[in-house]
Amino acid sequence: MQLALVAGEASGDLLAGLLLQGLKARWPEVRTAGIGGPRMAAQGFESWWPHEKLAVHGYVDALRHYREIAAIRAALASRLLAQPPAAFVGVDAPDFNLGLEQRLKQHGVKTIHFVCPSIWAWRGGRAAKMAASCDQVLCLFPFEPELLQRHGVGATYVGHPLADAIALAPPRAASRAALGLADSDLVVAVLPGSRRGEIEHIAPAFLRSVALLHRQRPALRFVLPAVPGLRARIEALAAEHAPGAPLAIVDGQSHAALAACDVTLIASGTATLEAALFKRPMVIGYRMAGLSWQIMKRMRYQPWVGLPNILCREFVVPELLQSDCEPVALARATLAWLDDAAGAARVAARFEELHLLLRRDTARRATDAIAQVLSP
């Protein structure tokens, strides 16, 4: 059996890699190809284009790369229609995948979308497009299927694969040993994003906050997990904005950094959910091009941006966005967590409840749902 998948950035590659494990367990001879990253390749996936091509940051970046991305989608659609797979699975990346799925579905290809677009947070109009694009949506969060079904979209709650992959009790000591950190160190994990646009907009403020924190608390240690392709740029930014700070930049190892840290300074996105599953207090920061921010701000339905806050329905961790995402405020909020052991314990307990809610053996549930779509 041949399945086609598209995952558009590092977070999608992570989710798809976990899904592929379940697919291979059920169908050992399954062949998979399309667009993906290294975690998918580790499961035998054949990538026809690098997933970084789809990793744009905001509307301005999307417009800048529109022609190239549109050409990739057209070429991929032609290839899949010439040799139709048993099904197509679009992993997140809704702006790329929903249009592709609609075209494939019109030609009789079964289509599954893995990760419900956040229509509950912004751009709710996409629900109508999903009805025309998807035979089934695999939802990560329990409130999503009912919302989609109101719009005639078939949907199944499968839980979040990261909740299965991440242990309930984070391996703090082992992770610190792997990163060369002492058990007594106070550690801040710095995660400024996985896309080039995020690094350019967010990393300078994060790194300047590292410099401030180092001056105020010289004993602090910092670790920054870098996407390998962006490491050189991150190192250059660190030399410019945080010279002399005890900052270890490592290839990947974001989970080790989150398990090892006492607090994380983190860009909004899937990584914030990972931090919550590691039961870590966090300061969420985010910046983008001014035009993109103005467009997105007008389409928001909720006061929260970070996934932990959205799922808890309150500000359990601070969010510093756009003009508020500046070094002094970031450093102040980070120190507040380090000085509030009781608060950190309370948020860890809240995150453990969230972890249990999302832990649903996602690979098996998702594979069962895909099997139902494939059944005559």
Return the pLDDT at 182: 97
pLDDT band at 307 (very low <50, low <70, confident <90, very high): very high
Q: Is residue 362 a contact partner of residue 158, using CB atoms and an 8 Å limit? A: yes
Q: Phi-psi bin for 54: left (phi > 0), alpha (psi -120 to 50), beta?
A: alpha
Mean pLDDT of the chain: 92
Return the pLDDT at 121: 66
Evaluate the CA torsion angle 328, 351, 10, 80 in order and state its sign.
negative
Tokens of 288: 């983008």
pLDDT band at 60 (very low <50, low <70, confident <90, very high): low
Look up the CATH superfamily of 2-159+360-374: Glycogen Phosphorylase B; (3.40.50.2000)
Return the pLDDT at 288: 82
Tokens of 103: 């075209």
The residue ranges of every structural domain in the chain are 2-159+360-374, 172-358
Residue 275 has pLDDT above 80, yes or no: yes
Return the pLDDT at 122: 65
Residue 64 has pLDDT above 70, yes or no: yes
pLDDT band at 57 (very low <50, low <70, confident <90, very high): low
The predicted-structure confidence for 311-340, as pLDDT tens digits, reads as follows: 999 999 999 998 999 999 999 999 999 999
Which helix (H) or strand (E) segment holds residue 260: the answer is: helix 254-260
The predicted-structure confidence for 82-114, as pLDDT tens digits, reads as follows: 999 999 999 998 889 999 999 999 999 999 999
pTM of the model: 0.82
| Residues near 89 by beta carbon (within 8 Å), at least 6 away in sequence | 3, 4, 5, 6, 16, 19, 112, 113, 114, 370
Q: Evaluate whether 2-159+360-374 and 172-358 have a shared fold.
A: yes
Return the pLDDT at 227: 87
User: What is the CATH number that goes with domain 172-358?
Assistant: 3.40.50.2000
Question: Angle between the 94-106 and 66-82 helix axes, to the nearest 10 degrees?
Answer: 30
